[in-house]
Structure 1
């Protein structure tokens, strides 16, 4: 518990420092004003700043359009107003002599024609659509005290949060989260949504992000990523909020979390800490670092490390992280984060694997016990500098390091045509270390005000993995044709050393030239090089310690090669209020060069390629809430070094890989159609997405089979090119809310079809896979005191293999019920029920999961809360999955955290200079009373 004590001391010290800052605050004068548009309508939710020399105060206009500043000590100041859909406003003022309060006459903001589509509910601007951004105002959401960002997201139309905390918007997964436009803990989604309090938020934006170049130049290429941007309420931008949570329960379950966020005008500082054994990681170390996202080619910064825990198994985890942002001036901003995580995970799993061949079947049944212990560090910093109004520079260094220790044991049973062939005990002890570092930078310059622009981007990164493995395999061999035959025992121990290093460098230059009022030509060049230096060495020993001289187990392999691409592109872009389109072409010569050394024998690898990549994009806006997008992209995929290696790799003796140096690069055509037709004024949302891809010269596998007395069935894989690979996916979402969002009904569904060719024993097989999903969710939300959410989701998975003319079907029904009610003003009862009915899976479990809690709010301002919660009351938690390939059907079951009860206490304290304590009712200007959120 020493770590818990240290964490508690750190956060309590921070808390008392904040309290001291509060006590030291000074009083000053008051400034008050009102915002209106040209039609004399109030403007709510606008960002308002009071600037006096180097000091800046921030707030936002209320529902009545009123803004107020207190503790103003300067005699002269400027008021600056910014609001989506209006021209920026700025004006200077001076306090009248002897007055302590100044009431400024109404400002009239000038709207920007055809810029936004807005939704007003009871005088509050709730939704705005601007280009690729959908912006929600959160002040009207019906949220309980102590709600998190995740709770607010669940209230937004078209946004869905699953049980594991993953967020999707308009059918696409959110990949990154930003706070006031800057990455928060490297963009880690769950870290933000599951830790930030909702009461400090002003707006949530769902953005189609095309990368740094598009944000700077407005020229969009490639596919967008869905990101969230959370805007802090300007009234809460000077103060702090702190949350401490501790709980203990049955089976020695515990949780201790703490968060502290300090905001001082242009500075933000956050501390997050977490210790628990209830499978609740604080950070996702798989999140890719930020930096300058490149518009074409490879590259990017180094990865972040491993997410060692996850939701499977039982995990003891401890994490701490720091996030810092400082706006030193209007020209220089620095922000970044450091995260550390320690996970100790134990996962028990069983799997039933069936291999179907033209003349026989093989069953491989496995029971495994895996213990994984990991430490991960991640650091990222960002420097943004605007030397002038036309220039922008961004530099992003990144560092990460992970270390993973693995101790596992598995028991495998192999059967041929139902008869036992052999059994295998497999023990592995390994340790892997992976350091990564890199830096990326960009420079953008507007050459004139008509759109002429030049953009530079570069990145350099290196990564490596050093893995030492000690594996012992003991096999009992039988005769499937003679069940009475005595079995033989075979033993081997292998010591493997893997040392993989890679280096990446790249640069991009893009030049934009306006040729008409709405048209631009872009010329671009992209260079990228990846180098690899991979070594694998293995020795083998008998049970008595003597050397096992068998080339299947003893080898020394070296791969040393590089892959270089040059891409030259040109395209024409047209953009007006209704129509946007781009059309162009890029050419990409490639070079793969290096050699492979097999036990001292070097084999040269050298191949040139040339790809032609079309560029096509079209968008038509019927209105701001109704639009159609069509995008075509092409991408060439070079074969991997494993696929073209001119030799047989038997480092895994049961899965032998033989390369094909004559493989051609595959080329993938991608077509994407997106249609959105929503009416937020009437509470309707509808969008659909259609994706299709066709791959020429698809690199497919040819699976061969042979038997070995000591190993069982050995699969040998080789590769060749084949046409006919394609897939299609359709997704839709329809939502309707009634009576000012008291009732909401949402339907969502998808249909996927995949046609994947492959070969088995030299015979062509086409795996034709259909996946159907249909879901429905109803929400009853009359107030923040009552919420009921029943729903159901159905899925159907059908795979037909032409080679064996066999269909495999799996389906599931998953009804859910989530709700909460205030029994009294300070006592809340909540429950989360889900039942899954599986059909077609080898495992018969149909888990019924019941989670529930009772919470009592206490202390002044409801700052404290005592909660008794029960998790998985029926103790049926498990994870069941199925994967299907051309010759294999695999059903897997993994243990998850089961039933426990926990008593938890939460304490929250907030104080903001621009507004009253959010735990109490506060009064607006002229005594107008605002309800507690």
Structure 2
């Protein structure tokens, strides 16, 4: 009987092993395909032509690349035993299409030479599909229509579909490993050059192309160029608006709410944002609130979260606006006429109370029990307004900027302490009251002019100058009151009372003029190297007044 039992177990294990082996799935095979693209008229190889591979069943894009200088293309990591469609497109040529399948037993296909017809010798109609990527001069362009996303997707969702583009958690964007230093929308800054505001609010179906190019910013040295990305919107999509409203209410009367409305056109951008909460979430600037209240709402910064390290109940409310107007619809680095302004108002109320009991042993038979009650209330209002105007045309730059800040508030700090012995007899009290009222005002005004030769060569000796004027002013007022009273019930000679008032008033102004002549060596000595020593002339004039009253 026992032997039959062992036989049954052995047969069962064999069946399970066979079943497990039969259910193994072979690892997914990957294949390669290569070929050469040639011109049908001149028999020239086609370099920088876009070669795309789609799934034939649903036209989903699999991979793409551009041909090298010999017209060659080579794809790896392609699915086998699946019908694929290859398309070649180039400026001035009709799209060329070819279907193929990579057999699983070979894992490689050589398509040989593919002839691409010029558009002027087309013999029949063809269906033109949009290539996912193309080169337009020195600009790398990704066509939005080639990437399938949901109907409610944003630009961020579409960028994640492009293999060459990587979106990092800290908001950085890289293309082929190179960092994007600036992101534009239709060639202009979009609500302060904030990447998240652009890619998490603009709908993917409004996008026509993603353009990547190098920007030299007026420098003649190619090493000084930076990589820039431009989101080119479809015609008619460059006028619009977007916004968001959110709110929540919880236990103990805790609440949180925020709202924003953003409008844009080819020349104007306006953002209005507001928020309020009593969950210790700080509201520090317009840009912070815009960045962290996007339509998609992903990647909220740690700084824009409730700070549970703060004590007490902190109620924050803020309102801000961001305005930009381009008098020139398509500004460039050397031709712009732009006005920008920001407004931010914040109100913060703090209510904090604490109570503690401390027991101090004086001897084995004597102890002092202290009860402390502390209350603190404060209110702070911060107001900020700044504006900037810049006019640039062919080597001349004129700019004006100003900002005004006001910080006012009041606070009250009270402390009540009493001490008792083991017999619960009151021995002393120590009470204090501190109040503070303050009003701080600061303003800054700047005007600047910069000239540099618009058409400059290696023989140009005078390369321009910078002239700046600035005015800074401040006025700070504060009134403080400190009241402290100690009363002893064991000895009246220890009683003490402290009453002090402080009234301070500080104000001042500062005028400053700066004149800078850069590269003075070239101006005076031309191309003389002088061991590569360079120098410039700077003239600085400062007039300053300060008044302090205590």
**Range class of TM-score, shorter chain:** 0.5 to 0.7
Aligned match for 2:274, one of 321, 331, 342: 342
- SS across alignment from 2:262: strand
Q: Which has the higher helix share?
A: 2
CA distance in 1, matches of 2:374, 2:178: 43
CA distance in 2, matches of 1:537, 1:221: 53
Taking a change above 3 Å as real, the CA distance of residues 123 and 542 of structure 1, as seen in their structure-2 partners, is closer
Aligned match for 2:201, one of 195, 198, 210: 195
CA distance in 1, matches of 2:355, 2:212: 50
CA distance in 2, matches of 1:125, 1:348: 46
Partner of 1:536: 476
**Is the aligned partner of 1:374 residue 2:314?**
no
Partner of 2:229: 228
- SS across alignment from 1:523: coil
- Deviations along 1:464-495, one digit per CA (max 9) or x if unpaired, are 1222201112346899xxxx996733211111
User: How do 1:610-759 and structure 2 match up within 5 A?
Assistant: none
Aligned match for 1:435, one of 369, 378, 385: 385
**Is the aligned partner of 1:269 residue 2:219?**
no
- SS across alignment from 2:202: coil
CA distance in 2, matches of 1:393, 1:153: 30
Partner of 2:437: 495
- Deviations along 1:697-716, one digit per CA (max 9) or x if unpaired, are xxxxxxxxxxxxxxxxxxxx
- SS across alignment from 2:265: strand
Partner of 1:404: 346
Q: Is the 8 A contact 2:482 2:501 kept in 1?
A: no
**Is the aligned partner of 1:166 residue 2:171?**
yes
Taking a change above 3 Å as real, the CA distance of residues 526 and 372 of structure 1, as seen in their structure-2 partners, is same
Partner of 1:555: 504
Taking a change above 3 Å as real, the CA distance of residues 151 and 442 of structure 1, as seen in their structure-2 partners, is same
Taking a change above 3 Å as real, the CA distance of residues 474 and 269 of structure 1, as seen in their structure-2 partners, is same
Q: Is the 8 A contact 1:185 1:336 kept in 2?
A: no
Taking a change above 3 Å as real, the CA distance of residues 459 and 548 of structure 1, as seen in their structure-2 partners, is farther
- Deviations along 1:387-431, one digit per CA (max 9) or x if unpaired, are 9xx9974211223322211112346999xxxxx9x9964322122
Deviation of the 1:499 alpha carbon = 1.5
CA distance in 1, matches of 2:243, 2:355: 44
CA distance in 2, matches of 1:557, 1:410: 30
CA distance in 1, matches of 2:150, 2:499: 67
CA distance in 2, matches of 1:349, 1:434: 20
CA distance in 1, matches of 2:167, 2:513: 41
Partner of 1:184: 190
CA distance in 1, matches of 2:549, 2:42: 78
- SS across alignment from 1:492: strand
Q: Which runs of 5+ in 2 are unaligned?
A: 1-38, 52-86, 94-117, 123-128, 283-308, 357-369, 420-425, 485-497, 523-531
Q: Please, which moves more after superposition, 435-444 or 405-414?
A: 405-414
Q: Is the 8 A contact 1:538 1:555 kept in 2?
A: yes
Taking a change above 3 Å as real, the CA distance of residues 527 and 186 of structure 1, as seen in their structure-2 partners, is same
Tell me how many residue pairs correspond in the alignment: 372
Partner of 2:403: 463
Q: Which has the higher strand share?
A: 1
Backbone CA RMSD of aligned residues: 5.0
Taking a change above 3 Å as real, the CA distance of residues 507 and 400 of structure 1, as seen in their structure-2 partners, is same
CA distance in 2, matches of 1:138, 1:278: 36
- Deviations along 1:784-838, one digit per CA (max 9) or x if unpaired, are xxxxxxxxxxxxxxxxxxxxxxxxxxxxxxxxxxxxxxxxxxxxxxxxxxxxxxx
Taking a change above 3 Å as real, the CA distance of residues 339 and 123 of structure 1, as seen in their structure-2 partners, is closer
Q: Is the 8 A contact 1:275 1:319 kept in 2?
A: yes
Taking a change above 3 Å as real, the CA distance of residues 169 and 593 of structure 1, as seen in their structure-2 partners, is farther
CA distance in 2, matches of 1:392, 1:381: 17
- SS across alignment from 2:328: strand
TM-score by length of 1: 0.34
- Deviations along 1:216-257, one digit per CA (max 9) or x if unpaired, are xx546997776431123xxx42xxxxxxxxxxxxxxxxxxxx
Q: Is the 8 A contact 1:149 1:195 kept in 2?
A: yes
Q: Is the 8 A contact 1:430 1:470 kept in 2?
A: yes
User: How do 1:510-525 and structure 2 match up within 5 A?
Assistant: 510-511=452-453, 514-515=456-457, 523-525=463-465
CA distance in 1, matches of 2:470, 2:198: 33
Partner of 2:489: none
Bigger-Rg structure (1/2): 2
Partner of 2:287: none
Q: Which runs of 5+ in 1 are unaligned?
A: 1-33, 46-61, 69-102, 108-121, 238-261, 280-312, 326-334, 351-364, 415-419, 445-454, 573-581, 601-933
Deviation of the 1:323 alpha carbon = 0.6
CA distance in 1, matches of 2:405, 2:534: 40
Q: Is the 8 A contact 1:166 1:173 kept in 2?
A: no
**Is the aligned partner of 1:567 residue 2:516?**
yes
CA distance in 1, matches of 2:41, 2:205: 26
Q: Is the 8 A contact 1:150 1:194 kept in 2?
A: yes
TM-score by length of 2: 0.55
Deviation of the 1:555 alpha carbon = 0.8
Taking a change above 3 Å as real, the CA distance of residues 492 and 63 of structure 1, as seen in their structure-2 partners, is farther
Taking a change above 3 Å as real, the CA distance of residues 527 and 126 of structure 1, as seen in their structure-2 partners, is same
